[in-house]
């Protein structure tokens, strides 16, 4: 039995995610897997992802993982990281692709015209480095993490949610954008908790212990 499955669909480096989870949950069975059956049987699922969203979705399909990732997102503790957040949305400007459509809203590129700081300095894209995460709601995954703690980001696209109540936190670059989403059994973040030192490790530890109060598919847990 697998406690935590980290979904491997060939996009990017999953080593950091598994190392960080092993660090916070040394007794859990944690696997990096591209096998749909293993993902299906896992208690908890983590979907990381780097690179371009169209490539990520294509690889997800090529490996027969789309359905099982969708199922996990509606019926078990689910943590999306970076592209793992973006793919939950309806569509992305990146390659004009459709996402999984589990969270309403879309994925947009940081518009070059807006990338100027309050001091008039050019802001670089990708948004890379440590930014503050301002909490929008209380959530078990924020436990023991100070509000406005800094997390490590690296991305050129951001999510714009059509249901503001799903936003769990936002950051400024230079405008406010949603950097974490919470919906029933789903928690998904734009930043990289596996690379965000104490704050990131705390969030991962909270995820490992999280028992969501409700599931998106509204079925009782078996």
Partner 1 sequence: MGLAKRIIPCLDVTNGRVVKGVNFIELRDAGDPVEISRRYDEQGADELTFLDITASSDNRDLILHIIEEVASQVFIPLTVGGGVRQVEDVRRLLNAGADKVSINTSAVQNPQLVADATGRYGSQCIVVAIDAKRVSGTDDFPQWEVFTHGGRKATGLDVVEWAKRMQLLGAGEILLTSMDKDGTRNGFDLALTRAVSDAVDVPVIASGGVGNLHHLADGILQGHADAVLAASIFHYGEYSIRQAKAYMAQHGIEVRL
For residue 40, the SS3 value is helix
Q: In whole angstroms, what is the distance from residue 51 CA to residue 35 CA?
A: 21
Residue with Cβ nearer partner 1 (29 or 121):
121
Name the active-site residue from 56, 82, 94, 155. 82
Which CB sits closer to partner 1, 130 or 140?
130
Cβ proximity to partner 1, 147 vs 163, nearer residue:
147
b/e code 46-67 from CB counts within 10 Å (16+ = b): bbbbbebbebbbbbbeebebbe
Residue 91 CB, nearest approach to partner 1 (Å): 20
Active site residue 93: no
Please indicate whether residue 192 is annotated as part of the active site.
Answer: yes
Residue 122 or 221 with smaller CB distance to partner 1: 122
Binding site for partner 1 (CB under 8 A): 11-13, 15-16, 19-20, 22-23, 50-52, 112, 115, 117, 121-132, 148, 150, 152-156, 171-174, 194-197, 200-201
What is the number of H-type helices and E-type strands within the chain? 6, 14
CB of 115 to partner 1, least distance (A): 8
Do 200 and 20 contact (CB within 8 A), yes or no? Answer: yes
Quick one: three-class SS letters along 180-222?
EEEECCEEEECCCHHHCHHHHHHHHHHHHHCCCCCCCCCCCCC
Least Cβ distance, residue 66 to partner 1 (angstroms): 20
DSSP-derived secondary structure for 75-108: HS-EEEETHHHHTTSSEETGGGEE---SSSEEEE
Please confirm, yes or no, whether 90 is among the known catalytic residues. Answer: no
Catalytic residue among 56, 94, 127, 192: 192
Per annotation, catalytic residue among 56, 59, 179, 194 = 194
**Closest-CA residue to 203 (of 140, 132, 141, 135):** 141
Residue 157 or 187: which CB sits closer to partner 1?
157
In the complex, least distance from residue 141 CB atom to partner 1, rounded to whole angstroms: 17
CB of 221 to partner 1, least distance (A): 31
Q: Residues with catalytic annotation?
A: 82, 192, 194
């Amino acid at each position: 039995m697998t406690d935590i499955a980290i979904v491997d669909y060939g996009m990017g480096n999953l080593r950091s995610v598994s190392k960080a989870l092993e660090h916070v949950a040394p007794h859990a069975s944690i696997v990096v897997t591209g096998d749909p059956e293993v993902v299906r049987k896992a208690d908890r699922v983590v979907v990381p992802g780097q690179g371009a969203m169209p490539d990520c979705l294509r690889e997800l399909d090529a490996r027969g993982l789309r359905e099982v990732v969708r199922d996990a997102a509606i019926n078990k503790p689910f943590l999306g990281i970076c592209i793992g957040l973006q793919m939950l949305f309806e569509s992305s400007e990146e390659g004009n692709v459709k996402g999984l459509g589990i969270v309403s809203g879309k994925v947009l590129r940081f518009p070059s015209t807006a990338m100027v700081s309050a001091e008039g300095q050019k802001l670089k894209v990708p948004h890379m480095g440590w930014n503050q995460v301002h909490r929008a709601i209380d959530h078990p995954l924020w436990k023991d993490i100070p509000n406005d703690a800094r997390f490590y980001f690296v991305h050129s696209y951001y999510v714009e949610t059509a249901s503001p109540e799903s936003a769990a936190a936002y950051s400024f670059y230079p405008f406010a954008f949603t950097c974490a989403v919470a919906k029933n059994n789903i928690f998904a973040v734009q930043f990289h908790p596996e690379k965000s030192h104490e704050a990131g490790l705390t969030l991962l530890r909270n995820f490992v212990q999280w028992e969501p109060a409700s599931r998106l598919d509204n079925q009782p847990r078996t």
